[in-house]
Structure 1
Amino acid sequence: MPFATVNGVSLYYRIDGPADAQAPWLVLSNALGTDVSLWSPQIGAFARHFRVLRYDARGHGRSSVPPGPYTIEQLSADVLALMDALAIDRAHVCGISLGGVTAMALAARHGQRVGRLVDISALPRNLAPRETWLERMEQARGGGMPALASASVERWLSAAFRAREPLVAEAIRDVVRHTDAQGYIASCAAVANTDLSQEVERIGAPTLIVSGMHDAGFPVDEGRALAARIPGARHVAFEALHLPNVEQASALTQTVLDFLLLPSP
């Protein structure tokens, strides 16, 4: 299995796509409580055009679980260090939820490393009350990852999709259920404590903001407002909750590909 030790953390990663050194890189960053499998619906299409790097963030999947709390500075530094370890000078970056916040931090603070930015279901500052995150952290601390997993899937995927695709929903629930509780808690702190509101206007990379039309955590109006603050950014919304890459996989995949394959401005 491919691992890289960066910033004192062992990160698990996967690379898909052509072994052509000239192919552009695309880095995918996962949501809280998930692993590289979250991007399975996109990999086949993305890998036809890009060298695709997926990784498990610290505290998740097969990566190690250093003591927390984590910060967005650490999470974005891990991506940069992983890119350095793999000799990736510049890449498009696409992230969802916590991964979207990580991607925004990279684009705002290390713009020279980011070609294009795709932010799915992520605001620069989380809208949920801090108490919500403290409750989730306490629930995980008390052995409540199975309940947190079920609640997460209900927030992330519509009831209609869960009924239509029960195996897909169960696979995601299983990943969250088996996320290390300490890694989950430490990453919740990163979500609760991050505020990039004053930084997003510094993003110079061409940017696509993606919303789920029924996502209470990332309302469509907030997505439009975020796009308006980033110079030249576009916004698109899908009939979905928090994981449009799963619930509207084909449409989202094509939309993201169309954006990433646009000629450079």
Structure 2
Amino acid sequence: MTAHQSDLPAPAGFDVRTSDGAVLSAFVEGRGQPLLLVTGLGGGAAFWASIAETLARSFRVIRFDQRGIGASTRGSDACSIETLARDCLAVLNEAGIDRAVVLGHSTGGCIAQTLAHLAPERVGGLILSGSWLRPNHYMAGYFGARREIIGTNPEAYAATSVLCAYPPAWIEANWHVYEAALAAAPLTAVQQEVMRERIDALLAFDGRDQMAALTVPVLVLGARDDMIVPAFLQEEIVAALPGCAKTMLDTGGHLFPVSRPDAFTATVADWISRLA
């Protein structure tokens, strides 16, 4: 790590306006090589808050609420993985960053893959965390079921987001995370529609063709006990990218960046330092 945390300024917020009228709420903190953090299905910058605080000791960290999530407005474009990738470019442009390492978790990994395909000159390295390459039966079944229950029982939708995402013992020891998820359940029709279209986008993603042309360095991260994006899906990415780096944690569940923050941030920081 290159700087003591107390020497770093607080995160600075800025707004990003897209061509279709969305306004994205973004944050930048730290100093050094730029690192863009791209959230998964939930889409909120808050997912990265404590992780960004750690990584900001070594990097200039950028994160943002994706369109329709948190403080960001929806805009008029269809919500596809490509649209979300172009939003990442808009964030980098507004932040004045020509080239960044891009770290995407879960759906964020699909967005990151697409960003690297659309603008490879803007991506200095790609970290695919708990992500996948192509449509598969397992994820269609899991996310399809969640899509069906969001309108009839949003609290159950929120509960499954936690109960399937972490090791049971971790949830028991961090029960406030479960309670916070229930309190933030998507109760309004607008919130529910945003989540449905995001689920549709992730299920439609197929990165096989664009992965074949990928030229940037890649690190694949996963957890062997992930029940949302199982480890065999990370292994498919590795098989498609001979020579890429891979780290698989034994435990942590799908949201291992939260449940295993020390291992996660250390792995990320070490890999990026090796790029130099």
Instruction: Please indicate, yes or no, whether the TM-score normalized by the shorter chain is above 0.5.
Output: yes
**Distance change (3 Å), C-alpha of 1:204 and 1:173:** farther
Q: Quick check: 1:26–1:93 contact (8 Å CA) kept in 2?
A: yes
Does the alignment pair 1:57 with 2:66? Answer: yes
Does the alignment pair 1:93 with 2:97? Answer: no
Does the alignment pair 1:186 with 2:211? Answer: no
Deviation at 1:220, TM superposition (A): 2.0
Does the alignment pair 1:219 with 2:230? Answer: yes
Q: Which deviates more from structure 2 when the two are superposed, residues 46-55 or residues 159-168? A: 159-168
**Distance change (3 Å), C-alpha of 1:84 and 1:178:** farther
Query: Residue 33 of structure 1 aligns to which amino acid in structure 2?
Result: G
Q: Which deviates more from structure 2 when the two are superposed, residues 218-227 or residues 249-258? A: 218-227
Of 209, 215, 218, 1:204 maps to: 215
1:1-265 equivalent positions in 2, closer than 5 A: 2-7=14-19, 8-18=21-31, 23-66=32-75, 69-127=78-136, 128=138, 130=140, 132-140=142-150, 142-172=151-181, 174-175=183-184, 177=186, 180-238=191-249, 239-264=251-276
**Distance change (3 Å), C-alpha of 1:135 and 1:176:** same
Aligned pair count reads 259
Q: Secondary structure, in 3 states, of the residue corresponding to 2:208?
A: coil
Deviation per CA, 1:74-94, whole angstroms, max 9, x where unpaired?
A: 010111122112221111100
Deviation per CA, 1:91-144, whole angstroms, max 9, x where unpaired?
A: 11001111111011112332111011111111022433646544433433x253
Highest RCO, 1 vs 2 (Cα 8 Å, sep ≥ 6): 1
Deviation at 1:174, TM superposition (A): 4.2
**Distance change (3 Å), C-alpha of 1:132 and 1:221:** closer
Q: Secondary structure, in 3 states, of the residue corresponding to 1:125?
A: coil
Query: Residue 191 of structure 1 aligns to which amino acid in structure 2?
Result: L
Deviation at 1:58, TM superposition (A): 1.1
Q: Quick check: 2:67–2:75 contact (8 Å CA) kept in 1?
A: yes
Q: Quick check: 2:38–2:64 contact (8 Å CA) kept in 1?
A: yes
Q: Secondary structure, in 3 states, of the residue corresponding to 2:274?
A: coil
Query: Residue 26 of structure 1 aligns to which amino acid in structure 2?
Result: L
Query: Residue 271 of structure 2 aligns to which amino acid in structure 1?
Result: F
Q: State the TM-score, normalizing by the size of structure 2.
A: 0.86
Structure 1 portions without partners, runs of 5+ = none
Q: Quick check: 1:204–1:231 contact (8 Å CA) kept in 2?
A: no
Determine the C-alpha separation between the residues in 1 that align with 2:116 and 2:176: 35
Q: Quick check: 2:131–2:233 contact (8 Å CA) kept in 1?
A: no
Q: Which deviates more from structure 2 when the two are superposed, residues 186-195 or residues 225-234? A: 225-234
Deviation per CA, 1:199-252, whole angstroms, max 9, x where unpaired?
A: 212222111111111113322233123123224311111112111101111111
